[in-house]
């Protein structure tokens, strides 16, 4: 009986997320697992889901030898050692955009608190004061809003800004002008153009976004306001203070800091700034949505699919080609090449027919994973296959060719006659392998023989297989001339044992035998 995967949840995920997990896997869930207990637990789990309180370091990843998936219930992966996870073949998932509405609303909560002096007016009233003139604010209507980064959160900020009657401009070199316009903003081509216009500036980029220092912030108009509800460190906090002191900036609101929690008391004591403790995505609705989405992604990943939440495995939006299916076919191709295609310092992979260009990285990783299973020590899968190929000194060339049905081919340099070709269909078929041509539906287990074309050979092979209780599902033959070299490809329902393979090798007519777990478990033995 197949063991159900086990998933460790280290922080509060929400009942909907836990229910999605429990329907498919065994779960150990904690509202907040003590940090000192994490390493000791990882050894028995296939996946772990974290939020922000835990960091998945190289050491922790090594403490979980069975880990296949590390998932962050949130937008970033700053607290996951991505290089170490990739090297170990661990798929990393996150949920970008699941809290976009919450982060956008929080941006305006901070902005309104800032421009209407909500925090200090609240403190004033609690202290018995009633000086209305001291807290005259600024309206948002008619103001120019500058957004750096108009992805999921930036788009929601632009949408809300329309309701306030603001003029919205955006700088994002990765989004086309038409797309920015569709999101309710006007695209500016340079960051400098945006800074010079923005009466209110907000940034919504990943940690790789632009860093705004004193020189950048000084380009803002006199009396501008600045917000950061994205990533700590994107805005120089010392420069903010300096420009507020000089009167060039009217104030700032920060939900994230370069050091969290912040320790700069001069910063924290300012009345012209509003702070919150990384609350951008912290709503009941967002937490529930994130929990459910990451749970579903983990279940799909453990089932062998590529969820769109994957971080360290490319996930293009493919028209007509299912990425998980492409992974399956590519891995099968790599296994057959490893068994029948010889060897060499460079592997050629061809994506032919209707396979789109953007699918090539997935196809290549899958082929390498299947090829290297028997070659390298340690786990190898599409996540770390590229790294493992480099470590093994294997060069790779990939080509994309038009014409014919979608299919993948692979061969080693100088051995194109031994290339393997499999169609990428709902029911993939092997078209070429071991120097022969076939039309064989991709079996779970594949046995290939090269022998002299003599009467009785096929029958003797079948007799040995039948005697061992191995059922032949499909059989195809290819020969050059009568009495010459012949190839036989058999699709088997079970993997042949080492003993059975030895018996087959004992048949004098068989020159070569290849056993391949083409679409299933690794074959027990092969030659």
- Look at residue 101 and tell me whether its pLDDT is greater than 90: yes
Residue range 440-460: mean pLDDT, rounded: 91
Residue range 131-139: mean pLDDT, rounded: 95
11 an active-site residue? no
pLDDT tens profile 283-304: 889 888 999 999 999 999 999 8
Do residues 93 and 70 lie in contact, with contact meaning Cβ atoms separated by under 8 Å?
yes
- Per-residue pLDDT band for 380 (boundaries 50, 70, 90) equals confident
231 an active-site residue? yes
- Per-residue pLDDT band for 320 (boundaries 50, 70, 90) equals low
Quickly list DSSP for 288-336. HHHHHHHHHHHHHHHTT---TTBSSS-----SS--HHHHHHHHHHHHHH
- Look at residue 427 and tell me whether its pLDDT is greater than 50: yes
- pLDDT, residue 315, reads 67
Do residues 408 and 422 lie in contact, with contact meaning Cβ atoms separated by under 8 Å?
yes
Residue range 450-474: mean pLDDT, rounded: 92
- Look at residue 524 and tell me whether its pLDDT is greater than 60: no
Q: Which long-range contacts (CB under 8 A, 24 or more apart) does 322-325 make?
A: 323/359, 323/362, 325/424, 325/426
Quickly list DSSP for 169-211. EEE-TTS-HHHHHHTT-EE-SSHHHHHHH-SEEEE---TTS--
Q: How large a percentage of the chain has pLDDT more than 90?
A: 64
- Per-residue pLDDT band for 318 (boundaries 50, 70, 90) equals low
- pLDDT, residue 525, reads 36
Name the catalytic one among 270, 278, 374, 418: 278
Candidate ranges 87-96, 120-129, 379-388; pick with highest mean pLDDT:
120-129
Residue range 158-186: mean pLDDT, rounded: 91
Residue range 97-126: mean pLDDT, rounded: 95
- Residues 6 or more apart whose Cβ sits within 8 Å of residue 290: 17, 73, 74, 95, 98, 99, 281
Name the catalytic one among 231, 352, 365, 451: 231
Domains annotated on the chain, with CATH: 6-96+285-302 (3.40.50.720), 100-275 (3.40.50.720), 318-442 (3.30.1330.90), 443-527 (3.30.70.260)
- Look at residue 75 and tell me whether its pLDDT is greater than 80: no
- pLDDT, residue 392, reads 74
- pLDDT, residue 385, reads 87
- What stretches of 51-124 adopt beta strand conformation (E)? 69-72, 91-93
Residue range 305-332: mean pLDDT, rounded: 80
Strand order in 407-412's β-sheet? Answer: 395-401, 346-352, 407-412, 420-423, 429-433, 436-441
Name the catalytic one among 37, 139, 215, 260: 260
- Look at residue 486 and tell me whether its pLDDT is greater than 80: yes
Residue range 412-441: mean pLDDT, rounded: 91
> Cα-Cα-Cα-Cα dihedral of 310, 70, 17, 108, to 10°?
-70
Q: Which residue has the tokens 């996951």?
A: 80
pLDDT tens profile 196-212: 999 999 999 877 789 99
pLDDT tens profile 364-374: 999 999 998 87
- Look at residue 394 and tell me whether its pLDDT is greater than 60: yes
- Look at residue 456 and tell me whether its pLDDT is greater than 80: yes
Do residues 16 and 29 lie in contact, with contact meaning Cβ atoms separated by under 8 Å?
no
Classify 270 in phi/psi space as left (phi over 0), alpha (psi -120 to 50) or beta: beta
- Look at residue 474 and tell me whether its pLDDT is greater than 70: yes
Residue range 1-8: mean pLDDT, rounded: 87
Question: Which helix (DSSP H) or strand (DSSP E) does residue 17 occupy?
Answer: helix 15-22
- Per-residue pLDDT band for 151 (boundaries 50, 70, 90) equals confident
Report the distance separating Cα 236 and Cα 216, nearest Å.
10
- Per-residue pLDDT band for 1 (boundaries 50, 70, 90) equals low
- Look at residue 104 and tell me whether its pLDDT is greater than 90: yes
- Per-residue pLDDT band for 526 (boundaries 50, 70, 90) equals very low
Average model confidence (pLDDT) for the chain? 90
Residue range 491-515: mean pLDDT, rounded: 89
- Per-residue pLDDT band for 317 (boundaries 50, 70, 90) equals low
- Per-residue pLDDT band for 319 (boundaries 50, 70, 90) equals low
Lowest-pLDDT range of 21-35, 63-77, 368-382, 511-525 = 511-525
- pLDDT, residue 209, reads 82
Closest CA to 394 of 346, 454, 447, 460: 346
- pLDDT, residue 527, reads 40
pLDDT tens profile 241-275: 999 999 999 999 999 999 999 999 999 999 999 99
348 an active-site residue? no
pLDDT tens profile 154-170: 999 999 999 999 999 99
């Amino acid at each position: 009986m197949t063991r159900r995967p086990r998933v460790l949840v280290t922080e509060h995920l929400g009942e909907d997320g836990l229910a999605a997990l429990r329907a498919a896997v065994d779960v150990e869930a904690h509202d907040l697992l003590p940090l000192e207990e994490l390493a000791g637990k990882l050894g028995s789990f296939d996946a772990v889901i974290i939020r922000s309180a835990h960091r998945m370091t190289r050491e922790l990843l090594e403490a979980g030898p069975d880990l296949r998936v590390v998932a962050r219930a949130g937008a970033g992966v700053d607290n996951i050692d991505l290089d170490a996870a990739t090297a170990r073949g661990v798929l990393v998932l996150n949920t970008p955009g699941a809290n976009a509405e919450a982060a956008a609303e929080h941006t305006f909560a901070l902005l309104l608190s800032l421009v209407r002096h909500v925090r200090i007016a609240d403190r004033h009233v609690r202290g018995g004061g009633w000086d209305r003139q001291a807290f005259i604010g600024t309206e948002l209507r008619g103001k120019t809003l500058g957004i750096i980064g108009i992805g999921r959160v930036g788009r929601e900020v632009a949408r809300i800004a329309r309701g306030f009657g603001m003029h919205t401009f955006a700088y994002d070199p990765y989004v086309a002008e038409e797309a920015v316009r569709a999101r309710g903003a006007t695209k500016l081509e340079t960051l400098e153009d945006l800074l010079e216009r923005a009466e209110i500036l907000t940034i919504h980029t990943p940690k790789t976004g632009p860093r705004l220092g004193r020189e950048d912030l000084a380009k803002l108009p006199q009396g501008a306001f600045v917000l950061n509800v994205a990533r700590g460190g994107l805005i120089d906090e010392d420069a903010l203070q300096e420009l507020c002191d000089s009167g060039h900036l009217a104030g700032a609101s920060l939900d994230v800091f370069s050091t969290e929690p912040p320790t700069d008391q001069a910063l924290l004591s300012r009345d012209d700034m509003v702070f919150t403790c990384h609350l951008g995505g912290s709503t009941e609705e967002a937490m529930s949505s994130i929990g459910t989405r990451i749970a579903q992604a983990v279940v799909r990943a453990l089932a062998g699919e590529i969820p769109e939440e994957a971080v360290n495995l490319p996930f293009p939006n493919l028209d007509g080609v299912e990425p998980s299916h492409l992974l399956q076919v590519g891995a099968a191709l790599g296994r057959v090449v490893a068994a029948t295609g010889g060897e060499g310092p460079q592997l050629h992979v061809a994506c032919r027919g209707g396979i789109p260009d953007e699918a090539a990285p997935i196809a290549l990783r899958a082929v390498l994973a299947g090829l290297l299973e028997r070659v390298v020590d340690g786990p190898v899968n599409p996540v770390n296959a590229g790294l493992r190929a480099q470590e093994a000194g294997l060069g790779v060339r990939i080509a994309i060719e038009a014409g014919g049905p979608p299919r993948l081919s692979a061969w080693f340099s100088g051995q194109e006659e031994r290339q393997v070709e499999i169609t990428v269909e709902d029911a993939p078929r092997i078209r070429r392998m071991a120097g022969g041509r076939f039309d064989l539906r991709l079996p779970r287990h594949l046995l290939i023989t090269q022998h002299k074309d003599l009467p009785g050979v096929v029958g003797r092979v079948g007799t040995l297989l039948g005697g061992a209780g191995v059922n032949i599902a499909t059989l195809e033959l290819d020969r050059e001339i009568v009495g010459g070299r012949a190839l036989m490809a058999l699709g088997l329902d079970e993997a042949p044992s080492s003993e059975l393979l030895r018996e087959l090798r004992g048949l004098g007519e068989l020159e070569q035998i290849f056993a391949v777990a083409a679409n299933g478990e690794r074959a027990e033995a092969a030659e």
